[in-house]
Amino acid sequence: MKLFFVSDIHGSLYYFKKALEAYESEKADHMVILGDALYHGPRNPLPKEYSPKEVAELLNTYKDNIIAVRGNCDSEVDQMIIDYPMMGDYAIILYNNRKLFLTHGHVYNKDHLPNLRENDVLIHGHTHIPVAEKMDKIYLLNPGSIALPKENNPNSYAVLEKDLFEIKDLSGNVIKSIHL
């Protein structure tokens, strides 16, 4: 099974289309959206081609392949136009005998960990900074932001296949990776 991770779309039609191109190119089985899909938030600039309605329409065409969690910029009104569940603070996937704890990162993060066992994985967005590291006994992963990267990082997404987590730029070049 191949998982495709994207976070912090923030309503950018331009960058979400780029993410979809990468998703199709990667031939992933599921798309995991780690929050902040439609709204840019009061602290962020308007992203390129800001169009939450059109982003929602495109997201809905992939509804059967999406696993999503709520970000701090997502709201109940967003759920009214999104055709898949996206209001949970977290989701859990069992993957190769380990727990993948999926969340946005504004509640659970490296400073406020959920209950995880040794070699489990916390995957979140929110910071807009790509991370692939082992912290104590767990893995901490963040695909970065597809639309509004920070700290001079490129626009990025991630894939997980056969215990290899790779964070890639929009050209598909690996910028960080880790074996789980």
Q: What tens digit of pLDDT does each residue of 109-120 get? A: 999 999 999 999
Amino acid 122: pLDDT:
98
Amino acid 42: pLDDT:
85
Express each pLDDT in 147-162 by its tens digit: 999 999 999 999 999 9
Nearest-angstrom CA–CA distance, 142 and 158: 8
* 79 CB burial (10 A radius; 0-12, 13-18, 19+): middle
Average pLDDT, the chain: 97
Domain boundaries, the chain: 3-179
Fold classified for 3-179: Purple Acid Phosphatase; chain A, domain 2 (3.60.21)
